[in-house]
Structures are given as structure tokens and as C-alpha cells.
Copies of this chain bind each other. A is one copy, B any other.
């Protein structure tokens, strides 16, 4: 028995996510969020709590979307190696189609060391992507597509850790040839 919200919570959270993603946590002001979300401060605080909670929700939204993207890319291939390659190519492709570096990677460096909530979430989420890859790598080793002499867990960690480099190289050099050469070396290293 009360008034209804006049906006779509998820849609406006998406606007906040885009802004935090682009500018980072500290460089994003509440005024920036008020403008981007097209909401008054009162509505933001009433719905999301405050800047920090809004940021955490934004990161969670981003992170879930990203994980789905990687899993979808993998699902298009029947062979485990094909799936692993698809995930690696997805990462490189994303770094050139999206005009900003991966929010998870950015946040790992801007926030994870200073904010425990961010740290815990990113750790869990990154571990999830690693597990997904580890499973694919084990399947590929069983089918003979992937080097069976290397530890699947280590290879999964190597792949995920390489993604941070993809984004950094894109930010600094914006050189497709360089980035694709790097991703090819990564793929080579597991086969």
C-alpha cells in the first residue's frame, strides 16, 4: 500500500555501472551519477543505499554479464580446445569493441586492495572463470587436444591472468596486430 517507483531499477543500475566502469569509483561523483542515472539523490539513496553500495551492485551486474559472455562464447564450440580459444578470442575482441578496459580488471587495481567487499567479490568471480576454464582444459587434455603435461589449474590461471595484459596493451598501444599476436602466443602455449 504505497506509491510505486517511476523508474526501472535494473535499467538505472545499468547507467551507474557504465559510469563506474568508464571513470572508476573515485573519479565518479554522486553528481555524475545523478546526471547519468536521471534520478535525484533521494531516489538513489532510497533505492541503492549510497555510492559504495551502488558501486558494488554495479560491479556485480557487470561481472555477471561478462561471465555469461564468456560462457556463451564457449558454448558455440563442441571441442574443449575450441571453447578455450573462443574465450581467449572473446577477451581480445572485447578489448577492441568496448571502449573501456574490463571493469573487473580496473577494479582489481583501483579498489580491491583498499576495499574488502570489492576484493572478496572479485576474487570469487575470477575464481569462477578459472574453474570454468580448468574444466574445459581437463576435457581437452582427455581428448588429446590440449597439452597433457601441463597442469590444467595452472593453465587456467595463466589464461585468466593474461587477460589483464590484453586490456593494458589495448589501453596503452591500441594495436590490433600486437594484441592478436599476444593472444596467439597464449593459445600456442596450451596446445
Q: Does A161 contact B (CB under 8 A)?
A: yes
The answer to whether B151 and A181 have CB atoms under 8 Å apart is yes
The answer to whether B161 and A166 have CB atoms under 8 Å apart is yes
Interface size on A, residues (CB 8 A): 47
The answer to whether A161 and B182 have CB atoms under 8 Å apart is yes
Known: A106-B109, A126-B172, A164-B168. 8 other contacts (CB 8 A): A108-B168, A108-B171, A109-B167, A119-B171, A154-B182, A160-B165, A161-B166, A162-B162
The answer to whether B173 and A158 have CB atoms under 8 Å apart is no
Q: Does A112 contact B (CB under 8 A)?
A: yes
Residues in B neighbouring A184, C-beta threshold 8 A: 154
CA distance A110 to B21 in the complex (A): 11
How many copies are assembled? 2
CA distance A163 to B26 in the complex (A): 25
Residues in B neighbouring A143, C-beta threshold 8 A: none
Residue ID in chain B nearest A108 by CB atoms: B168
Known: A182-B161, A185-B189. A109 touches B154 (CB 8 A): no
Q: Does A113 contact B (CB under 8 A)?
A: yes
